[in-house]
């Protein structure tokens, strides 16, 4: 019998984490068919969450990242009283648990962090060795067995809008499977970004293989994308010119995506295309692309993963020394060039 329950999820702020949260949504929908899942998340993520079939309603968070605003959070929560039987709080912050508490959700589940006893009444302890395994941690709130068995992890899978994809390809004069998407940005900081000259060289190497390079990114990454395209003979700059729904459809139509460890890398993996993911200050053991058609490149230097925003040694060798040839070899291993 279909469920008539409604569940509230307080989602994280980072795009990659929102993609990985779909593992939880998939688990809930699998175990309780018909359950209604509503998600509170930053407004910028609406186009992305709209591509998750399991989600009933997107509720835009009125709070900026890092904003405390306890009174406003309490008032926001009171507007939701009586609507949900359970809530999952994915961020680890104390303030993230305020909304479901004031919404009087009977069961409020999340991991033990920042003294959230009381605000949460179903508090879980995440095993230390999984503290950076984001997707498994999220799914584990509904499916604890995945914390012991990684094979149980449900991979994110985003819905593709075929009509929008056709419109985009037509407007950009691109052919399906005739282009490569490059995602050179990383919101976290420069220590996660492959050098721009490598991206320019990669774009031209793809062009020599008959693939048009398309550079994706947010408006904040326009200057980075311009620098890459100015040194390439062929790359198209779409940074800041697409929303996340367009990125999903463009990624789904390409032959390969190359990306730093970033939100767009997770979007691309969930769009179902081959992905080469580049790691420097972070590790693929923590947040790999959740796809069977992916390769993660990581040099594993003695100084990495440092998990810093900026290289503390000043040389950035973990990505400087990751060559274009290595990326092309990974693309060949995925049988895309």
Tens digits of residue pLDDT in 298-320: 999 999 999 999 999 999 999 99
Percentage with pLDDT > 90 across the chain? 89
| Token digits of residue 197 | 């000259």
| Token digits of residue 104 | 């009087």
Which pTM value belongs to this model? 0.94
What is the homologous superfamily of the domain 162-333 according to CATH? Glycogen Phosphorylase B; (3.40.50.2000)
Domain boundaries, the chain: 6-152, 162-333
Secondary structure element (H or E) that encloses residue 135, with its range: helix 134-140
- If we measure between CA atoms, which residue out of 119, 110, 265 comes closest to residue 185? 265
Per-residue pLDDT band at 2 (split at 50, 70, 90): low
Q: Give, in order, the Cα–Cα distances in Å from 28 to each of 133, 141, 143, 144, 303.
A: 19, 10, 8, 12, 39
Q: How far apart are CA 48 and CA 145, in angstroms?
A: 28
What is the homologous superfamily of the domain 6-152 according to CATH? Glycogen Phosphorylase B; (3.40.50.2000)
pLDDT over 80 (residue 291) = yes
CA 334 to chain centre: 21
CA 223 to chain centre: 22
Q: Residue 219: how many CA atoms within 13 Å on its side-chain side?
A: 2
Q: pLDDT per residue over 142-154, tens digit each?
A: 999 999 999 999 9
């Amino acid at each position: 019998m279909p469920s008539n329950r409604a569940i509230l999820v307080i989602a994280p702020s980072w795009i990659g984490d929102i993609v990985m949260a779909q593992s939880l949504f998939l688990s809930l929908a699998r175990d309780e068919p018909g359950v209604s899942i509503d998600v509170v998340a930053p407004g910028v993520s609406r186009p992305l969450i709209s591509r998750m079939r399991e989600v009933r309603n997107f509720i835009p968070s009125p709070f900026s990242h890092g904003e405390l605003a306890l009174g406003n959070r309490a008032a926001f929560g009171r507007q939701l009283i009586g609507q949900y039987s359970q809530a999952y709080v994915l961020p680890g912050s104390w303030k993230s648990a305020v909304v479901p508490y004031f919404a009087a959700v009977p069961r409020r589940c999340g991991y033990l962090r920042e003294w959230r006893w009381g605000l949460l009444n179903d508090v879980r302890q995440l095993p230390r060795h999984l503290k950076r395994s984001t997707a498994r941690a999220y799914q584990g709130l509904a499916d604890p067995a995945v914390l012991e068995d990684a094979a149980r992890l449900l991979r994110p899978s985003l819905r593709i809008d075929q009509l929008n994809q056709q419109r985009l390809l037509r407007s950009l004069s691109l052919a399906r499977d005739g282009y490569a998407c490059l995602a050179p940005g990383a919101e976290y900081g420069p220590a996660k970004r492959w050098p721009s000259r490598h991206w320019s060289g990669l774009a031209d190497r793809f062009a020599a293989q008959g693939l048009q390079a398309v550079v994706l990114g947010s408006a904040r990454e326009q200057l980075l994308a311009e620098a890459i395209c100015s040194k390439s003979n062929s790359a198209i700059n779409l940074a800041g010119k697409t929303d996340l729904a367009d990125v999903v459809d463009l990624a789904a139509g390409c032959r390969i995506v190359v990306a730093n460890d970033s939100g767009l890398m997770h979007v691309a993996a969930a769009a179902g295309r081959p992905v080469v993911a580049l790691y420097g200050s972070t590790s693929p053991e923590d947040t790999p692309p959740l796809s069977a058609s992916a390769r993660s490149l990581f040099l594993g230097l003695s100084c990495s993963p440092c998990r810093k925003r900026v290289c503390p040694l000043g040389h950035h060798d973990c990505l400087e020394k990751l060559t274009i040839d290595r990326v092309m070899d990974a693309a060949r291993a995925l049988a895309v060039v």
